Amino acid sequence: MPTGAGDHEAVLDDLFETLAGLAPEIRASLPGRRVKSDETNPSGETRLEADAYADELIEDALREVDGIGTYASEEQAEPIDIGDGELSVACDPLDGSSNIKPNSPMGTIVAVYEGDLPGDGDSLVPAAFVLFGPILTMSVARDGRLYEANVNDGEIDVIDDDVTLPEEPTVYGMGGRVPDWTEGFAAFIDEVEQEYKLRYGGAMVADVNQVLTYGGIFSYPALQSSPNGKLRLQFEGIPMAYITECAGGVSSDGGQSILEVEATGLHQRVPVHLGNEQLIDRVETHLAGD
């Protein structure tokens, strides 16, 4: 697990205050940007106008944070130099943006790495996500702990300074189409659907937050058509793994912690399993037979 913020405390304070202040503006921009643009992102996915606008807002805001040298996002092909600092920010500006049309939850994921991108889990400093739900919240994993705050007024109002997964799991959520699952993952879901409640909404931040709140597992597994799954290591896999592990949970790519996966490309994909240890152990056992 990453060792902590070290000498970057002031920079990180400024970064998260900036993100909290920006969150209401991003949310307020969504109603008028629910339509698709004519562009695709580097992963070949159609961009919504909201994706591009959120990306621009975050990039511009982070240029004003001293100590950040590089910004990268799912919406841009390569990292961008934005300052002279040693820290690099990798961002999913609008996770679950397809949820705009049905007006369902979505969010923003931010990972801060020491040094150049792509970065491995051991170069991650903190990670955070903003959840645009009925309440506007921000969850920050830093120095091995996870805290949750309300940010409706653009200020950080901590409501839980030590978020911990419940010991007894309650929910599960999983991505990918059922016919595309591997045999091992399908067998795992056959088991857990008899024991737990299905909670899957199509935005990783919201689905993982369900696990953080109620205990359980979130998976976007390796698929028959896509052995590395869908989610990106830099922007989703590593930061959400660190957030989960800081809450006492476990992460896995199917065989090891996501924080141990070697980063070889900025838009690299990785299978993702996050949640209570006993459920991660069970899914890994099933996947070992694929």
Query: Band of the pLDDT at 5, cuts 50, 70, 90?
Result: low
Inform me whether the pLDDT recorded for 176 exceeds 90. Answer: yes
Give the separation between CA 161 and CA 150, rounded to whole angstroms: 12
The pTM of the full predicted model, rounded to 2 decimals, is: 0.94
Give the separation between CA 178 and CA 217, rounded to whole angstroms: 17
pLDDT digits (tens, 9 = 90+) for 113-152: 999 999 999 999 999 999 999 999 999 999 999 999 999 8
Query: What is the reported pLDDT for 80?
Result: 97
Strand partners, 90: 72, 111
Tell me the average pLDDT across 172-177: 96
Tell me the average pLDDT across 33-37: 63
> What tokens appear for 259 in the block?
């924080």
The domain defined by 171-287 folds into D-Maltodextrin-Binding Protein; domain 2 (3.40.190)
Strand partners, 80: 71
pLDDT digits (tens, 9 = 90+) for 183-226: 999 999 999 999 999 999 999 999 999 999 999 999 999 999 99
The CATH code belonging to domain 6-160 is 3.30.540.10
**Order of strands across the sheet with 157-160?**
80-81, 68-73, 87-95, 106-114, 124-132, 136-142, 145-150, 157-160
Query: Band of the pLDDT at 45, cuts 50, 70, 90?
Result: low
Look up residue 193 and give its amino acid: E
Tell me the average pLDDT across 79-102: 95
Domain boundaries, the chain: 6-160, 171-287
Within 8 A by CB and 6+ apart from 103, the residues are none
Taking all residues of the chain, what is their mean pLDDT, rounded to a whole number? 94
Query: What is the reported pLDDT for 101?
Result: 87
Which has the higher per-residue pLDDT, 16 or 2? 16
Inform me whether the pLDDT recorded for 1 exceeds 60. Answer: no
